[in-house]
Amino acid sequence: MKYILLALLFLSIAIGTQAKIRLNLSIIYKKGIDKGLVLVSEYHSVEEVDETEKVRLVMKNGLTMIVFASFVQNSDDYGPSDQIKLGGSIFIRDRKLEDTFFEKEILIHLGEQKVLVYKDDSGQLIELTVAPEVR
């Protein structure tokens, strides 16, 4: 019984010490910027993810963003890296936008804020601000 309790204690410590990434996300979606009339929608969220989770952010105007993040592993460091790799997809009314800022590898340092901008010919502008932290 003593060994079972000891094993459970070590297991709970190992699970509890796994680092999670906290993403401070801000989305600004502008439509009609080519016509002089601008409709602006904003969405702000703080999400915690691990290396296997994807976050789905849905705005009322039909914009959906799926975001995932993982630590960039460095063989010289112990523990979580200070650099995060960000990826994802953007959908407008269930149509995936191609050639957005997610098509390139996005690297962000912890505590740093990065602004990503997508603009197309139809007068849409999507601005994503990301500030990752470790929980």
Q: Domain count of the chain?
A: 1
Predicted local confidence at residue 59, as pLDDT: 93
More confident residue, 35 or 87: 87
Q: Does residue 116 sit within a domain? A: yes
> How distant, in Å, are the alpha carbons of 18, 93, 114, 123 from that of 128?
27, 18, 8, 17
Res. 123 pLDDT band, cuts 50 70 90: confident
Distance from the Cα of residue 32 to its chain's centroid? 26
Q: pLDDT over 90 for what percent of the chain?
A: 50
Q: Does residue 13 sit within a domain? A: no
What is the extent of the structural domain holding 96? 19-134
Q: Please say if the pLDDT value at position 110 is more than 70.
A: yes
Q: Taking all residues of the chain, what is their mean pLDDT, rounded to a whole number?
A: 85
Mean pLDDT across 37-46: 90
What is the spatial distance between Cα 24 and Cα 7, in angstroms, rounded to a whole number? 36
